[in-house]
Amino acid sequence: MDFAVQVLVALVFFFTALGLLVMRAGLAGKIRMDGSPGMLFALLASLCLDVAVSMLAVSVISLTFVVPRPQLLYLADLMCLVMLFPYPFTRFVLVPLGAAQFAFDFARLSHWRFWNDRTAGGVAMAAWASLRSKKAETARLEQFLASSVAFYPDEGRGWAFLRRLLPRSRRVNALLAAGLLAAARDDFEGARALLKQIAREPLDGRDRTARALAVEWLCADGAERGDWREVMALSMGFSFPHTPLTLFLGCAALRIVGDERAPGEAELERAWRRSGCAAATAPLYERARGPRRRSVPSYVPSRADGGGDLGRALAGQLALSRGTPARPAAALVQVARAWERALEAPEMARALAGRASDLGVPTAVPVLDEVRAQVEEQLGAIALRDGVRLDDLEAGGALLARVGRRIRGEMLGQLDDAIQRITARVEDDRRLPGAVEMGELEALVEQYMAIGKFGGLETRGVAFASMHAPICAWAVWLFNERRQKRVGNAIFRFLWREAFILEDPAALELQSRNVRAGT
Amino acid sequence: MLDVQACIADNPFYVLELSPDCGRAEVEREGRKLLGMLELGLGQAATYPTPLGPQTRTADKVRVAMAQLVDPAARLQLELWARIPADASILEAGFDASIDAGGWNGARAALGWGR
């Protein structure tokens, strides 16, 4: 074929395909999945566009084989392949590059992977790309997700036979997207909660990709936290399809935990080689292959050279004060137990009571109480420094449980104070510049997230319940009266995100409407 | 907050090198003796042993120690810490950094799920 004709064919192909793709992407964003006749028309149109693009792509590729010197057509072939397989291109090229916008656009073209929830699928892939990029910009994606995908007010309407065409749960892709957005903001607790919700959604073959990606993230997260039992359970669960990487992580977890079902070395090596990222997982492979290590090291000396229980407790405390150990929770629990042994020992109480009597002090109880309070205060400070969570403290004995309850109470009290200050300002109509209002929001969110990080989802839920109404009122005031729509929207998005994570349907519905109103 | 320095290193019983069940007169006698030795610049009074290792003794520390032991309630708490023998060592206890941390630090990033 003549070079000029090749150029012409390539250009015609390029612009036709571009036009079709723009139409298809636009349509994907507009389809309301409500089982209505409009949805049927939009889906048929979308399908026609899919077929047209695919036929065009196949035609161009076929042309390459009949043309004697198809140099330019090779380029067109490459584009055809991308259009025929948008998901692999997104996952293996755009996501590692961190190209969130392109990932969003291309993933939305993947009918096969994300079925009729392609907008949420697009947001999920964009969120994944954001996870990989140095500068995660999640606000716009979250706005898009909150306003158009995650809340489906049309559930149950439309034609019944059309509704049957829809996936059984249309939340799965949205949950994946919201979970990955939370992870991109480093809110791993929230991400974990959202992705675990996927397991409770009704199974549907059309959600395979979202489920596989969710379980892969959860396994990577479990590996990072050292929760190998969870990795093991996730990789062996039946409600999730598994990627080769998930299967390898499961095998490694079985060996690390020392489970009787642990695979042999050959099977482990096979799983490792098939994992798709053998180089990155090599350290884990070596660890899983090696002998089982001692699970919890000893952080308190077995003897403190004649110091007794008190000496051991002080020795552990001193070591903790010097720096964060490899396993902060385990170290804190061991030191706290050493204190309990030292301070609760009957001999200690007897000896102090005897000395109190000798010195003419009515009782030795206040002395022990004072020491206990000092120890608790210091252990609390170390727990906060090392990021030890409330559930670890509660499982670490009476002393640490008291420490945990005290910190939780203080944190919730401080959050209440901050909320009351904002409420009083709204009631008194004391106006601050937009940037300062945004600063207030950021400080409040930081305080709230610290509570969630320490107390887990349950405490986060308590904090959310106390803050939802007053903070929503603040946002409405900013949005309607102050015309500070940017800050108001940011608050609505934050409340929507939390309602989604904490599974509060009433708040989710309200905040979805608010976010949509601000779009 | 628990101040290990105050509890152990500056504990009056270690400063005065007395046992926790010593009497008031013994405190006075030992205090005066140490003050005298410090005034004369005798080397053997310059330091005292504690479970945190030898500490420097000064005249001020000795006076503070004598004063601290006047109040029986305050003394009772100081006695609690002084139950650890001065020749015991709680300094060497440390964490074994070579022990595996359990988790795979940086797993999310290594597996393509983080920065």
Between CA A312 and CA A181 the distance in angstroms is 45
Q: Do A308 and B96 touch (CB under 8 A)?
A: no
pLDDT per position as a tens digit, A220-233: 999 998 888 889 88
Q: A139-143, A236-240, A479-483: which range is least confident on average? A: A236-240
Grouping H, G, I as helix, E, B as strand and the rest as coil, residue B47 is strand
pLDDT at residue number A297: 56
More confident residue, A391 or A237: A391
Give the mean model confidence (pLDDT) for residues A343-368. 86
> Which tens digits make up the pLDDT trace of A100-120?
888 888 888 777 777 667 778
Interface mutation target, options A221, A305, A378, chain B, most CBs of B under 10 Å: A305
| Mean pLDDT of the residues in chain A | 83
- B51: which chain A residues are within 8 Å (Cβ-Cβ)? 304, 307, 311, 314
CA atoms within 13 A on the CB side of A178: 33
Question: What pLDDT was estimated at residue A329?
Answer: 86
Contacts of A283 in chain B (CB under 8 A): 104
% of chain B beyond a pLDDT of 70:
89
Q: For residue A378, give how far its alpha carbon lies from the nearest alpha carbon of chain B (Å).
A: 5
Query: HEC string of A283-305?
Result: HHHHHHHCCCCCCCCCCCCCCCC
Quote the CA–CA distance of A241 and A239 in Å, as a whole number: 7
Query: pLDDT: is A359 or A323 the higher one?
Result: A359
DSSP SS3 for A130: helix
At A477 the pLDDT is: 94
A164 confidence band (pLDDT: 50, 70, 90): low
Q: Which positions in chain A touch B77 (Cβ < 8 Å)?
A: 367, 370-371
Per-residue confidence (pLDDT) for residue A154, from 0 to 100:
46
Would you place residue A165 in the very low, low, confident or very high pLDDT band (cuts 50, 70, 90)?
low
0.90 exceeded by the pTM? no
Does B107 reach chain A within 8 Å, measured CB to CB?
yes
Rounded-to-integer distance, Cα A170 and Cα A154, Å: 12
> Could you tell me how many helices (H) and strands (E) chain B has, helices first?
6, 2
A162 versus A366: which is more confidently predicted? A366
Least confident of A148-162, A347-361, A379-393, B79-93: A148-162
**CA pair distance A498, A424, nearest whole angstrom:** 23
CB A496 within 8 A of CB A514: yes
Residue A78 contacts B where some CB pair is shorter than 8 Å:
no
Dist. CA A39–CA A81, nearest whole Å? 29
Residue A252 vs residue A47, higher pLDDT: A252
- Is B87 within 8 Å of A377 when comparing Cβ atoms? no
Backbone angles phi, psi at A517, to 5 degrees: -60, -30
Q: Predicted ipTM?
A: 0.81
Q: How far is B64 from chain A (nearest CA, A)?
A: 20
Give the pLDDT of residue A144.
Answer: 74
Please give the helix or strand (H or E) that residue A203 lies within, else none: none
Three-state DSSP at B13 gives: helix
pLDDT at A441: 94
| Residue A222: Cβ-neighbour burial (10 angstroms; 0-12, 13-18, 19+) | buried
pLDDT confidence of residue B98: 37
Give A291 or A275, the one with higher predicted confidence. Answer: A275
Residue B52's pLDDT is 84
CA A460 remoteness from chain centre? 15
Gap between the Cα atoms of A174 and A178, Å rounded:
6
pLDDT of residue B11: 92
Query: Which pLDDT value is given to residue B26?
Result: 92
Q: How far apart are CA B107 and CA A281, in angstroms?
A: 9
Q: How far apart are CA B36 and CA B25, in angstroms?
A: 17
CB within 8 Å of A401: residues ≥ 6 apart: A393, A394
Q: What distance in Å separates the CA atoms of residue B57 and residue A110, rounded to the nearest whole number? A: 78
Query: How confident is the model over A86-97, as a mean pLDDT?
Result: 90
Interface of A with B in 387-446 (CB under 8 A): none
Which is more confident, A4 or A193? Answer: A193
Q: What is the band of A447 on the pLDDT scale with cuts at 50, 70, 90?
A: very high
Q: To probe the interface with B, which of A367, A370, A403 has the most B CB atoms within 10 Å?
A: A367
Identify all chain A residues contacting B113, using CB atoms and an 8 Å cutoff.
128, 131, 183, 216-217, 220-221
Cα B57 to Cα B40, B44, B61, B83: the distances in Å are 14, 10, 6, 20
Min mean pLDDT across A15-29, A278-292, A312-326, A501-515 is at A15-29
How far from A220 is each of A37, A72, A132, A224, CA to CA, in Å? 42, 43, 14, 6
- pLDDT tens-place string over residues A141-160: 887 777 665 444 445 555 66
Interface contact A245, partner B, CB < 8 A: yes
Is the pLDDT score of B80 beyond 60? yes
Backbone φ, ψ for residue A300 (5° rounding): -115, 130
Cβ-contact A502, A466 below 8 angstroms: no
- Using alpha carbons, select from A198, A222, A193, A219 the residue that is nearest to residue A210: A198
Specify the higher pLDDT residue, A446 or A364. A446
What is the spatial distance between Cα A489 and Cα A286, in angstroms, rounded to a whole number? 48
CB A77 within 8 A of CB A114: no
pLDDT band for position A306 (cuts 50, 70, 90): low
Which of B12, B39, B41, B9 is CA-nearest to residue B26? Answer: B12
Q: Under DSSP, is residue B55 helix (H, G, I), strand (E, B) or coil? A: strand
Count contacts between A and B (CB, < 8 Å): 172
Q: Would you call B87 an interface residue with chain A, using a CB distance cutoff of 8 Å?
A: yes
- Tell me the CA distances in angstroms from A499 to A150, A155, A174, A507, B73, one per residue in order: 11, 19, 14, 6, 53
User: How much is the mean pLDDT over chain B?
Assistant: 84
Distance (Å) from the C-alpha of residue B16 to the closest C-alpha of chain A? Answer: 19
- The answer for residues whose C-beta is within 8 angstroms of residue A402's C-beta and 6 or more apart is A376
pLDDT at B96: 47
> pLDDT-based confidence at B92, cuts 50/70/90?
low
Indicate whether A244 pLDDT > 70: yes
Nearest to A304 among B1, B2, B93 (CB): B93
Tokens of B45: 């009074």
Mean pLDDT of all residues in A333-358? 87
Distance from CA of B40 to the nearest CA of A (A): 34
| Inter-chain residue contact B115 with A131, CB threshold 8 Å | yes
Return the pLDDT at A488.
92
Q: Which tens digit of pLDDT belongs to each residue from B17-41?
A: 998 888 889 999 999 999 999 999 8
Q: Which residues sit opposite B48 in a β-bridge?
A: B55
Write out chain A residues lying below 8 Å of B115, CB-based: 131-134, 136
Residues 248-287 of A with CB under 8 A from B: 277, 280-281, 283-284, 287
Instruction: Report pLDDT for A169.
Output: 59
What the block records as the tokens of A333 is 């629990």
Reported as a single tens digit per residue, the pLDDT across A493-515 is 999 999 989 989 899 889 988 88
pLDDT at A474: 96
> Could you give the CA distance from residue A511 to residue A505 in angstroms, rounded to a whole number?
10
Confidence of residue A321 (pLDDT cuts 50, 70, 90): confident
The residue with greater pLDDT, A224 or A5, is A224
> What pLDDT, on the 0 to 100 scale, is given for residue A356?
87
The CA distance from A410 to A421, in Å, is: 17
Rounded-to-integer distance, Cα A58 and Cα A49, Å? 14
Least confident of A206-210, A296-300, A415-419, B106-110: A296-300
Both tokens assigned to A11? 């250009």
Which amino acid, one-letter code, is at B44? Q
pLDDT for A277: 86
Q: Whole-angstrom Cα distance, residue A90 to residue A83?
A: 11
Compute the distance between CA of residue B57 and CA of residue A389 in angstroms, rounded to an integer.
42
Q: What tokens were used for A201?
A: 């959604």
**Residue A240 banded pLDDT, cuts 50, 70, 90:** low
Q: Give the gap in angstroms from C-alpha A440 to the nearest C-alpha of chain B.
A: 28
- 8 Å CB contact of A304 and B88: yes
Question: What's the average model confidence in pLDDT over A471-499?
Answer: 92
pLDDT in tens, A265-277: 899 999 999 988 8
